[in-house]
Amino acid sequence: MATEAPPPRNGTETAHAPASPTTEQFVEVQEGEEFGELRRTYRSFAFPLTLAFIAWYLLYVLLSNYAGDFMGTKLFGNVNVALVLGLGQFATTFLIAWLYSRHAANRLDPKAEAIKHRMEADA
């Protein structure tokens, strides 16, 4: 079976490839304030949303197990509270993914790119 992929490099074509940073450079960047800020920015978004979603999911599970009459309450037609809350789980998942995508593009990616470019320039 033929492929359109270029042949693998043989080691002599490394003049155009960026040099890899050393282990010491990685450790230095990891201990730096800029990387710490990037990590704090990520954690300040990811941890609260993760905890909120887990609490929301556990509420749904607990209501399903212990509040059957409430969850069986018909809202309209054959649609009950359990169905609406269950579909809300899917909607919440997609909302969180969309929010994270925006957060990463606006706040995380620029900081990470700056660190990456600086490391590649120093290598």
Rounded CA gap, 98 and 100, in Å?
5
Give this prediction's pTM.
0.73
Q: CB within 8 A of 74, min separation 6: which ones?
A: 80
- For residues 111 and 41, is the Cβ–Cβ distance under 8 A? yes
118 — pLDDT class (breaks 50, 70, 90): confident
Token pair listed for 8: 């693998």
Token pair listed for 61: 């599970």
Residues 11-47: pLDDT tens digits? 555 555 666 778 888 888 888 899 999 999 999 999 9
Residue 82: per-residue pLDDT: 95
Residues 87-110: pLDDT tens digits? 999 999 999 999 999 999 999 999
Residue 61: per-residue pLDDT: 95
- For residues 60 and 89, is the Cβ–Cβ distance under 8 A? yes
- Residue found under tokens 């995380």: 108
Residue 6 has pLDDT above 60, yes or no: yes
In this structure, of 19-23, 42-46, 65-69, 112-116, the range with the lowest mean pLDDT score is 19-23
